[in-house]
Amino acid sequence: MKIDISINGKRCEADVEPRLLLVHFIRDLAGLTGTHIGCETSICGACTALMDGKAVKTCSILAIQADGAEITTIEGLAKDGQLHPVQEGFWECHGLQCGYCTPGMIMSACGLLRDNPTPTEEQIRHGLEGNLCRCTGYQHIVDAVQYAANKMSAQAAKAD
């Protein structure tokens, strides 16, 4: 099937098998390997990306389901060499160790902050329950998301 997906603002057209997973489209056809695969059963969230602004697990979506969609992957977050506040938060707060879950975790956090710009610690912990991290014990990840929330709120207030 011929499909046309916009990834990080760039159109990717391809003729694909109907069974091709979106994560394989992103990694193998678009060549964006920042979206990782950790379980293939939608539990770990390493493959999370934004589809039309919403955080989705790309290992559980067929590429053809994303035909015509706008996808943002981890590679599309930083703008003009400037890290996104969530990326910055992860760096500042030591929110990562091996880094494998990190892209998915950051994309989920972006989805979370879109829905709730000022989450409490508990809301962050529940908001990220679809993403597993085996290294950090989550505390620094929670701190990172809070850092980003504060920074984004401050930026929004300034813009107003």
Partner 1 sequence: MSFLAKYIGQKVKRTEDPRLVQGIGHYVDDVEIAGALSVAILRSPYAHARVNSINIDAAKKAPGVVAVYTGKDVEGKIGYVPCAAALPELKVPKYPVLASGKVIFVGQPVAAVVATDKYKARDAVDLIEVDYDPLDVITDAEKAAEGDSPLIHEEFGTNVAYVHSAGSGDVEAAFKQADRVVTQRLNHQRLAPIAMEPRGVLAQYFPGEQQLNLWSSTQIPHLLRTQLALMLGIPENRLRVIAPEVGGGFGSKLNVYAEEALAGWISMRLNKPVKWIESRRENVQATIHGRAQVGEVSVAVKNDGTLLGLKYDVTADLGAYHQLLTPAIPTLTGLMLSGCYKIPAIQMTCKGVFTNKMATDAYRGAGRPEATYLVERMMDLIAQELNMDPVELRRKNFPKPEEFPFATATGLFYDSGDYEMALSKALEIVDYKKLREEQKAARAQGRLMGVGVSTYVEICAMGPSIALPSGGWESATVRVEPTGKVTVLTGISPHGQGEETSFAQIVADMLGVSIDDVLVVHGDTSIVQYGIGTFGSRGIAVGGAALACATEKVVAKARTLAAHLLGTNEAGLTFEQGRFVGAPDDRSVTIQEVALAAYVPHNVPPDFEPGLVATHFFEPKNFTFPNGTHVCVVEVDKETGDVEILRYVAVDDCGKQINPLIVQGQVHGGIAQGLAQALFEEVVYDENGQLLTGELMDYAVPKAHQLPRYELDHTETPTTVNPLGAKGVGEAGTIGSTPAVANAVIDALAPFGVKHVDLPLRPEKLWRLMNN
Helix (H, G, I), strand (E, B) or coil at 89: helix
Give whichever of 5 and 128 is closer to partner 1, judged by the CB atom: 128
Is residue 60 at the binding interface for partner 1, with CB under 8 A as the rule?
Answer: no
Q: How far apart, in whole angstroms, are the C-alpha atoms of residue 117 and residue 103? A: 19
| Beta carbon nearer to partner 1, 116 or 139 | 139
31 contacts partner 1 (rule: CB under 8 A)? yes
Closer residue to partner 1 in complex, CB, 61/131: 131
List, as own/partner pairs, every contact residues 90-93 make where C-beta atoms lie below 8 angstroms and the sequence separation is at least 24, other chains included.
90/141, 90/144, 92/144, 92/147, 93/140, 93/141, 93/143, 93/144, 93/147
- Nearest approach, Cβ of residue 44 and partner 1 (Å): 6
Q: Which is nearer to partner 1, 141 or 159 (CB)?
A: 141
Helices in the chain by DSSP H: which ranges? 22-24, 85-92, 102-115, 121-127, 139-159
Within residues 109-148, the interface with partner 1 by CB under 8 A covers: 121-122, 124-126, 128-129, 131-142
Q: Does 74 bind partner 1 (CB under 8 A)?
A: yes
Residue 84: count of CB within 10 angstroms of its CB: 19
Buried b (16+ CB within 10 A) or exposed e, 2-29: ebebebbeeebeeebeeebbbbbbbbeb
Residue of 22, 25, 90, 113 interacting with partner 1 (CB under 8 A): 90
Rule CB under 8 A: say whether 57 interacts with partner 1. no
Which positions lie near partner 1, rule CB under 8 A? 17, 19-20, 24, 27, 31-41, 43-44, 46, 73-75, 77-78, 83, 87, 90-92, 94, 96-103, 106, 121-122, 124-126, 128-129, 131-142
